[in-house]
Amino acid sequence: MVAAPLNVPPRATGDAAPPAGEAELEERLARPSAAVVEALRQCPGDVIVLGAGGKMGPSLVRMALRASTELGDGRQVIAVARWSNPAARAALSADGARVIAADLESTADVAALPDAPNVVYLAGQKFGTTDAPERTWALNTIVPGTCAERFPDSRWVAFSTGNVYPRTPVRGPHSREGDTLAPVGAYAESCVERERVLTRASAAHGTPMAIVRLNYAVDLRYGVLVDIARRVRDGEPVDVTMGWVNVIWQGDANRMALRLLAHAAAPPLVVNVTGPERLSVRELAEHAGARFGIAADIRGNEAPDALLGDTARLQSLLGLPGVNARLLMEWVASWLERRMPLLGKPTQFEVRDGRY
């Protein structure tokens, strides 16, 4: 894994300039690569996205829609969520998705969902775990089991998290998919159990699955790089105790998730999905400070370990992400300099005790 690539030039992507605004940002987040189109060609039939109303769901739905349009195969892309944000629901419907309002905690609602040979599972809860652990356990263990029983004959990609791993020494080796899991805190423990529930369903029904252990997606309105750079811009302190991170452009995470449909297997294929770079939080803060002309207020000292994943399996299957860390940093800095909209949803990447 490459360390702190702050002096590495951007890898060519065809779109080195930062997105001009939210419309262009959304377009890039949902832009399918030729490899995504080919993967969906290999996975015919409708795609149902369960938990489509969160941060990643809408852009992933749009990417599947655009790939289907390129294929001209007439498949439906079905977006399922409670839709607490009516505007997001209306926008996806206008884009051509079949939008269904359903509560995945309701067995009746899940039973009523339409059949689909391809499932992307995004549902889950992280924040609020400390105050309501029972709800987190229900959402992260019972709900995926219910959904797996509803779609036993479908091909699955299910999102998990790198939080299922223990922290590893900063200099490596970093967490690999076959490592023993050692979650810290109730959220991470529930995510391990979610994986076990899905693995059991795969074994019981022969359901092909790919499990995505994601850390950390960035879309310019949220993400670790946004958290750090915004704090620097606004004169807030940056704690560097959790001194190193992995990140990935959300558009790349979407592409890799859809491509993994073609690699789904029983027992499930598990893949760490993140960028290959090991990024120093201190250097990220200092870089943001230099960009904004502000001295970064850095607090604490780096611990010898951090939550870091090895991406050798991802690279062997799908190659490198299209957007490297340096380019993503420049996009984030430009976005913040222009005071563009943010989601106001901190990642809490600095948490070391598992309490979210």
pLDDT greater than 70 at residue 286:
yes
Question: Which tokens in the block code for residue 288?
Answer: 């943001």
Angle at CA of residue 346, ends 159 and 138, nearest 5°: 45
Q: Which helix (H) or strand (E) holds 49?
A: strand 47-50
Instruction: Count the neighbouring beta carbons within 10 Å of the beta carbon of residue 87.
Output: 8
Q: What is the DSSP string of 275-332?
A: -SEEEEHHHHHHHHHHHHT----EES---SEE--B--HHHHHHH-S-SS-HHHHHHHH
Q: What average pLDDT does this structure show over 263-283?
A: 98
pLDDT greater than 50 at residue 355:
yes
The share of the chain scoring above pLDDT 90, in percent, equals 89
- CA 145 remoteness from chain centre: 21
Mean pLDDT, the chain, integer: 94
Nearest to 273 by CA among 347, 212, 219: 212
Region 2-337: CATH code? 3.40.50.720
Question: Which tokens in the block code for residue 330?
Answer: 């420049």
Could you report the per-residue pLDDT of 289-316, keeping only the tens digit for each?
Answer: 999 999 999 999 999 999 999 999 999 9
Q: Which helix (H) or strand (E) holds 2?
A: strand 2-3
Widest pairwise Cα distance in the chain: 58
Beta carbons of 314 and 192 less than 8 angstroms apart = no
What residue ranges do the domains of the chain occupy?
A: 2-337
Q: What average pLDDT does this structure show over 98-104?
A: 97
Could you report the per-residue pLDDT of 231-247, keeping only the tens digit for each?
Answer: 999 999 999 999 999 99
Could you give the CA distance from residue 113 to residue 330 in angstroms, rounded to a whole number? Answer: 42
pTM over 0.85: yes
Count how many residues are written for the chain: 356
Q: Which helix (H) or strand (E) holds 222?
A: none
Q: Is residue 129 very low, low, confident or very high in pLDDT (cuts 50, 70, 90)?
A: low
Write out 18-44 in H/E/C secondary structure: CCCCHHHHHHHHCCCCHHHHHHHHCCC
Could you give the CA distance from residue 146 to residue 141 in angstroms, rounded to a whole number? Answer: 9
Q: Give the N- to C-terminal CA distance of the chain in Å, as an integer.
A: 28
Question: Which tokens in the block code for residue 264?
Answer: 């789904």
